[in-house]
Amino acid sequence: MAKIVGLKELRENMDKYVRDVGKGTDYVVVRRSKPLFRMIAPFQDENWETVIDFTKVKRGGVSISELLSRL
């Protein structure tokens, strides 16, 4: 079951919550008692495929044909 955290609390202590999510704790983030979003850790057993590494994109971006060819 997910724990509930207020948006202000999350902003003020982001490092703590990021660390907790990395350890497997789920959080529902609320503002004025209304849920905004849920923070969950990615599944450890899924295989992720890198399509484009945006840290290595040259100035001017990536052409759509290159992006589509990798999908």
Q: Which domains does the chain have, with CATH numbers?
A: 3-70 (3.40.1620.10)
Tokens 């982001």: give the residue: 14
Question: How much is the pLDDT for 48?
Answer: 67
CB atoms within 10 A of CB 9: 15
C-alpha–C-alpha distance, residues 51 and 71, integer Å = 7
Q: Which two tokens stand for residue 70?
A: 């990798």
Question: How much is the pLDDT for 44?
Answer: 61
Question: How much is the pLDDT for 62?
Answer: 72
Per-residue pLDDT of the chain (71 residues; tens, 9 = 90+): 899 999 999 999 999 999 999 888 999 999 999 999 999 987 765 666 777 677 776 777 777 787 788 77
Question: How much is the pLDDT for 37?
Answer: 95
Q: Which two tokens stand for residue 50?
A: 């890198």
